[in-house]
A and B are shown apart, each in its own frame.
Chain A
């Protein structure tokens, strides 16, 4: 158990709908990262937040948005869902300190999204 929690574990929805995925980082971690992993694919970095502020952005679609709240949990919002959005969505966390070397990221268990 990494200490990172994600809810829900599974989500089934229809095309055109909107869903919200939730992540709580490890105790003491200020930074949250979101990744998308499609079937048999690698991990695509979506976005990173540090202490409530967006810090880095990857290939995140305009239909997707995220935020980090004062209690440091984060939500990833996916709207106008398409079949191709079906994937595992992982959240990871780290302390987020500005150090010479990137810190280890600890991954949550993921949310499996199925768009029908």
Chain B
């Protein structure tokens, strides 16, 4: 069945360093890949997304890259700040399925 693997499960970085989270999806027909940030006890919030017709998208300190051949996509956060500490979820969606398949999440800790 459809599956999204996410690594690492936890990630600690020093403030100012970069963080990279990787996801691999199984369904080659998937064409939409959102990333959500979830702070403790709060709702998941969309931070960036990418469609399969582009290879990279950037929004200030956050970027996402997509490699359709390898079926993986990555979240890049540069110049990390303590407020970036949260759990990050990737997801993949296939046309016609009307649902997201989420990765298992990455707990990011930015150490001041």
A residues lining the B interface (CB < 8 Å): 2, 31, 33, 41-45, 48, 50, 55-56, 58, 90, 96, 100-102, 104-110
Measured in the bound complex, the distance between the Cα atoms of B44 and A96 in whole Å is: 19
Q: Give chain B residues whose Cβ lies under 8 Å from the Cβ of A58.
A: 99
Which B residues touch A90, using CB under 8 A? 43-44
- Do A108 and B43 touch across chains, with their CB atoms under 8 A apart? yes
Residue from A31, A43, A44 in contact with B44 in the complex, judged by beta carbons closer than 8 Å:
A43
A104 pairs with B104, CB closer than 8 A = no
Expressed in whole angstroms, the Cα–Cα distance for A102 and B52 within the complex equals: 11
24 A-B pairs with C-beta separation under 8 A: A2-B45, A42-B102, A42-B103, A42-B104, A45-B99, A45-B100, A55-B98, A58-B99, A90-B43, A101-B31, A101-B52, A102-B31, A102-B32, A102-B93, A102-B99, A102-B100, A104-B34, A104-B46, A104-B49, A105-B34, A107-B43, A107-B44, A109-B42, A109-B43
Q: Residue of B at shortest CB range from A45?
A: B99
Q: Which of B45, B49, B93, B102 contacts A43 (CB 8 A)?
A: B102
Q: Number of B interface residues, CB 8 Å?
A: 25
Q: Is the interface of A mostly helix, strand, loop or mixed?
A: loop
Tell me the nearest residue of chain B to A109, going by C-beta.
B43
Residues of B within 8 A of A107 (CB): 36, 43-45
Task: Decide if B97 is an interface residue (CB 8 Å cutoff).
Answer: yes
Candidate in B34, B44, B105 with the most chain A CB atoms within 10 angstroms: B44
B51 at the interface (CB under 8 A from A): yes
Cβ distance B43 to chain A, nearest Cβ, rounded Å: 4
Q: Chain A residue with minimal CB distance to B103?
A: A42
Residue in A45, A55, A58, A90 with the greatest tally of chain B CB atoms within 10 Å: A45
Known: A42-B103, A101-B51. A56 touches B42 (CB 8 A): no
